[in-house]
Amino acid sequence: MTRPEDATPTKHPPRKAPQRVQKVDVGGADKLVMRKGREERVANGYPWVFSGEVYQVPPPEMDGQIMPVEDARGRLLGLGMINTKSNIVLRVLTRQREPVDRDFFKRRLTEAIAYRERYAKLDPSPNAGYRLIHAEADGLPALIVDRYGSFLVVQALALGIAERMPMIVELLAELTGCKGIYERSDVLVRNLEGLPQATGVLYGEAPPADLVIEEHGSKFRVDVATGQKTGFFLDQRLNRQRVRELARGRVLNTFCYTGGFSIAAALGGAEEVVSVDISADAIALAEENARLNGVEAKCTWQAANAFDALREYEKAGEKFDVVILDPPAFTKNKDSVPGAVRGYKEINLRALRLLNPGGLLVTSSCSHHISPAL
């Protein structure tokens, strides 16, 4: 089961003086062996093995299957799902030699759900919205599950997990008692896994078009089928709560989407909230959300480019007590970091200039390559 081009481990430069020749088992079809010196990160808990880090990539017939990965000395690093079409040839599921079967996934899902319910400061409402399963962080690589009241929305971002979705959907239905599970795997990273885009109902009923979730006492309509991501930016849930506690005076919320931070501010101490987003659909839903929370009189909405809006507010001499910036990722790779840094600098600088003395800047970045310090 070897591929001709990968059949020998002699592609790497031969050692000049091979005094102590260590015998390296490059692995047959039954395991992946990491190149000597490349194993440290995975041994320390990193969940991905890249194809360039192993002596031999398994044959494509193994795609989706579970294989052990070892270091060059034969020490087990873990068991994971294979995809030879991806640069990430293996995603670690467990660090032990154990059966990776339905029971395994059931245990992982049960643990993650219990953990979330215990620690995530959730709204007690049965209509709460929050991220239930956090992929690698919950030991379930590439699996995202968001809970919107009695409905779940799933994203399967790797082949191994996509192939196991029928089982995972069954388990999720059993463990949560949800009314329906909807898939939003319409994301470009699926291309890197050799997977097509996929959306639609996987179990039970489709989420209704007027689905409303509750978050710390505020209500939001969520469009699961056509909204951005899985319908709502659940990652900012606790920050919206913080803004609700801190908001006062006049608030500017840029990149507002369906009004999450705006409504939090209006329900908190804000007297007036001005919000901007480039998406007219998002603004329409934001206006509806303001009415749903009874704060429409405090809110004004603008469908515009936030870069232009910030410049215009500055030119007009407008001042705010709180400015919120929550832009989309300005860079997804290392090469475009300098351009992204210019973008972040521009909006943050303009936001600071718009603040009254003693004002508050709430700034976010979801670009992996932009560190908090940068």
Least distance CB 174 / ligand SAH (angstroms) = 31
Least distance CB 52 / ligand SAH (angstroms) = 34
C-beta of 67 vs 323, nearer to ligand SAH: 323
What secondary structure, in 3-state letters, does the chain show?
Answer: CCCHHHCCCCCCCCCCCCCCCCCCCCCCCCCEEECCCCCHHHHCCCCEEEHHHECCCCCHHHCCCEEEEECCCCCEEEEEEECCCCCEEEEEEECCCCCCCHHHHHHHHHHHHHHHHHHCCCCCCCCEEEEEEEHHHHCCCCEEEEEECCEEEEEECCHHHHHCHHHHHHHHHHHHCCCEEEEEECCCHHHHCCCCCEEEEEEECCCCCCCEEEECCEEEECCCCCCCCCCCCHHHHHHHHHHHHHCEEEEEEECCCCCHHHHHHHHCEEEEEEEEECCHHHHHHHHHHHHHCCCHHHEEEEECCHHHHHHHHHHCCCCEEEEEECCCCCCCCHHHHHHHHHHHHHHHHHHHHHEEEEEEEEECCCCCCCCCCC
Binds ligand SAH by CB under 6 A, chosen from 182, 203, 257, 313: 257
178, 256, 299, 366: the active-site residue: 366
Binds ligand SAH by CB under 6 A, chosen from 195, 326, 350, 365: 326
Contact 92, 83 (CB under 8 A): no
Binds ligand SAH by CB under 6 A, chosen from 203, 261, 301, 330: 261
C-beta of 105 vs 261, nearer to ligand SAH: 261
C-beta of 327 vs 359, nearer to ligand SAH: 327
Mark the segment that binds ligand SAH (CB under 6 A) among 71-79, 85-93, 172-180, 278-286.
278-286
Binds ligand SAH by CB under 6 A, chosen from 230, 236, 241, 331: 236
Residues 6+ apart with CB under 8 A from 136: 47, 91, 142
Contact 31, 68 (CB under 8 A): yes
C-beta of 83 vs 293, nearer to ligand SAH: 293
C-beta of 163 vs 287, nearer to ligand SAH: 287
Mark the segment that binds ligand SAH (CB under 6 A) among 14-22, 138-146, 193-201, 249-257.
249-257
Q: Does 71 bind ligand SAH (CB under 6 A)?
A: no
Distance CA 294, CA 217 (A): 12
Q: Which residue is nearest to ligand SAH (CB)?
A: 260
HSE-CB at 350 with a 13 A cutoff on CA atoms is 23
As to burial, measured by CB atoms within 10 angstroms (0-12 exposed, 13-18 middle, 19+ buried), residue 163 is middle
366 is catalytic: yes
Binds ligand SAH by CB under 6 A, chosen from 279, 336, 348, 363: 279
Residues 328-357 contacting ligand SAH, CB under 6 A = 328
C-beta of 120 vs 201, nearer to ligand SAH: 120
Q: Does 148 bind ligand SAH (CB under 6 A)?
A: no
Least distance CB 185 / ligand SAH (angstroms) = 19
C-beta of 47 vs 343, nearer to ligand SAH: 343
Q: Does 82 bind ligand SAH (CB under 6 A)?
A: no
Least distance CB 258 / ligand SAH (angstroms) = 6
Binds ligand SAH by CB under 6 A, chosen from 47, 58, 80, 260: 260
Residue among 319, 318, 304, 370 nearest 343 (CA) = 370
Q: Does 233 bind ligand SAH (CB under 6 A)?
A: yes
Least distance CB 339 / ligand SAH (angstroms) = 14
Distance CA 286, CA 301 (A): 8
C-beta of 34 vs 310, nearer to ligand SAH: 310
Least distance CB 240 / ligand SAH (angstroms) = 6
Q: Does 234 bind ligand SAH (CB under 6 A)?
A: no
Binding site for ligand SAH (CB under 6 A): 228, 233, 236, 240, 255-258, 260-261, 276-279, 282, 305-307, 326-328
Q: Annotated catalytic sites, by residue?
A: 366
